[in-house]
Amino acid sequence: MLVLAILLLSCSQLASQIFLPALPQIAHSLSLSQSQSQAMITGYFICLGIAQLVVGPLRDRFGDRPVFLIGQGIFIVGTACCALATTAEIFSLGRVLQGIGAAAPLLISRTLLAATLSGAHLKSAMATLALAASGVSVLAPWLGGTLSTLISWQSLAWILASYFFMVATLGWWILPANKQRVTSRSVHPYKMLRTYWQLLNDAQFIAIAAFKWLPTFIYLTTQLYFPFLLQQHFALTEQQFGTMMMLPMSGLLIGAFISKCLHRYLNEVVLFALFWPLLLLSALCYLLLPFGLLSTLLGYGFAMVVFGGYFAAYMQLIGLHYLAQAGSVNALVGACELLVFTLLAVGCNAYIIHSIHDLAWITLTVASLLVLAWVKLLPRQLVLYRRLKDISGRILRSTV
């Protein structure tokens, strides 16, 4: 099941990232402007975020296998549309179908392990999944760039479609063919919205999700800001920039690897606390070190270590506290991540960030919010819990 979960997660990652280096090719072939070609990428994320809100409850109601096969089928059709596209409209349709279809393998990759494993085996498997996801995030843009220099973007799309078909075949073979409904949860739109509203009013859910949302927000904000900052100030070419960005992105692998090693001995709340100081180091690199290529990449690298380290712990807590509705919970986390926090990242770059120091203060703000989330997750038996809760409550009341 672990291998299948890794393959499922890689599908959405490859579809979102492998086309990035080929954007100039696609724009030239389909006569797109730069903004139109970028919209093809962001449109995928929007469709993926919305689709998760529907796929999550469907998974909780009908199980993994039927939802995966239908979603993966839509995914493959969308990828084939991209490969056959001769106009911008057909390519756009393909990206929309990809975003809708990718929700199924993405969500099931996050719920499959919790549904089939427990205890130490689950912790180890979650950490390995996070490690694999970090590796794909680092290598996918490089792989896309390498293939784009050897073959056309249409051929690249056909390779993706073939890979997705292979994963669909494995999923059909491995996933249990449960014909019975997994739960009695309704998939009526009103019931689904009510479930999501209840989760958004659940303080524990918000606290757990914060350790996925806020590191993602830092990642997206920095990813949008750095191309302009580094290429303008250090005269980097696109190829040089891509190579340089692999250095801080390797922090994802480092964080996931450290988390995997420590998961045997420490619980998730302790892991959150151990990685948290790296956010302070990230901000201090931007604030105190002389502005340069090394200091900016180092600061971003520290943040990526936190991102990689938190991923497995977040998935473990979701499986521990929300196993019966894991699909809906992961759907809501993913939808907010792609829709709300992407818009926040865009807004920060448009209106707030004017220098590297502004990015530092945003990082410090995120670190402060994570402290409040961490306090909420502390065991209630601890005396420290009560004291920190009182302090955090005063801070929250003073900001209202």
Q: What is the CA radius of gyration of the chain?
A: 21
Q: How far is CA 299 from the centre of its chain?
A: 20
Kindly tell me if the per-residue pLDDT of 178 is higher than 70.
no
Query: What letter would DSSP give residue 184?
Result: -
Q: Give the model's confidence band at 126: pLDDT under 50 very low, under 70 low, under 90 confident, else very high.
A: confident
pLDDT of res. 393: 62
The predicted-structure confidence for 108-117, as pLDDT tens digits, reads as follows: 987 888 777 7
Reading the block at residue 140, the tokens are: 């996918």
Nearest-angstrom CA–CA distance, 106 and 117: 18
Residue 271's alpha-carbon distances to 218, 277, 374, in angstroms, are: 19, 11, 10
Kindly tell me if the per-residue pLDDT of 185 is higher than 70.
no
Kindly tell me if the per-residue pLDDT of 12 is higher than 70.
yes
Nearest-angstrom CA–CA distance, 158 and 80: 7
Amino acid in the structure at residue 91: F
Nearest-angstrom CA–CA distance, 222 and 225: 5
Domains of the chain: 1-186 (1.20.1250.20), 188-400 (1.20.1250.20)
The predicted-structure confidence for 64-105, as pLDDT tens digits, reads as follows: 889 999 999 999 999 999 999 888 889 989 999 999 999 999
Kindly tell me if the per-residue pLDDT of 351 is higher than 60.
yes
pLDDT of res. 383: 45
The predicted-structure confidence for 287-338, as pLDDT tens digits, reads as follows: 999 999 899 999 999 999 999 999 888 888 887 888 777 778 888 998 898 8
Reading the block at residue 360, the tokens are: 């530092």
Kindly tell me if the per-residue pLDDT of 390 is higher than 70.
no
pLDDT of res. 388: 55
Mean pLDDT, rounded, of the chain: 84
Torsion of CA 151, 153, 159, 165, to 10 degrees: -170
pLDDT of res. 180: 46
Contact status, residue 211 vs residue 68, Cβ threshold 8 Å: no
The predicted-structure confidence for 360-377, as pLDDT tens digits, reads as follows: 999 999 999 999 999 988
